[in-house]
A and B are shown apart, each in its own frame.
Chain A
Amino acid sequence: MYAFDIERPTRLTDAVKLLSDATDSQPLGGGQTLIPALKARLAAPERLVCLSAVDEIKGICTADDGALCIGGGTCHADVAAGAGAYPALASLAANIGDPAVRNRGTIGGSLANNDPSSCYPAAVLGSGATVVTTNRKIAADDFFEGMFTTSLEEGEIITEVRFPVPEKANYQKFEQPASRFALVGVFVAKYADGVRVAVTGASEDGVFRWSEAEAALSSDFSAGAVEGLSLSGDGMISDMHGSGDYRAHLVGVLTRRAVAAAG
Chain B
Amino acid sequence: MPEVKMTVNGKPASGQIEGRTLLVDFLRENLGLTGTHVGCDTSQCGACVVHVEGRAVKACTMFAAEAEGMEVKTIEAMAEPDGTLHPIQAAFQDHHGLQCGFCTPGMVMSAAALLKDNPTPTEAEVRDYLEGNLCRCTGYHNIVKAILAASGQDVSKIAAE
Contact = CB atoms under 8 A, between A and B. Distances in A.
Interface stretch (B27-35, B59-67, B75-83, B97-105): B59-67
Contacts of A3: 18-20
A76 B63 CA distance: 19
7 contacts: A4-B20, A6-B65, A8-B65, A50-B66, A100-B49, A100-B110, A104-B62
Interface stretch (A35-43, A108-116, A157-165): A35-43
B65 A98 contact: no
B150 interface: no
A98 B131 contact: yes
Interface of B: 2, 18-20, 22, 41-43, 46, 49, 55-58, 61-63, 65-66, 68, 110, 113-114, 129, 131-133
Contacts of B49: 100
A180 interface: yes
A31 B131 contact: no
Interface in A67-115: 77, 97-101, 103-104
Nearest to A101: B132
Nearest to A47: B19
Contacts of B2: 6
Interface of A: 1-6, 8, 28, 31-32, 35-36, 38-39, 48, 50, 52, 77, 97-101, 103-104, 180
Nearest to A175: B131
A100 B56 contact: yes
A44 to B, nearest CB: 11
Contacts of B22: 35
B58 A100 contact: yes
B56 A5 contact: no
Contact of A103 (B41, B56, B66, B133): B56
Contacts of A103: 55-57
Contact of B61 (A5, A8, A52, A104): A104
Given A8-B66, A39-B42, A99 B110 contact: yes
A175 B57 CA distance: 22
B63 A31 contact: yes
B56 A99 contact: yes
B81 to A, nearest CB: 27
A99 B65 contact: no
A59 to B, nearest CB: 16
Contacts of A8: 65-66, 68
A39 B42 CA distance: 8
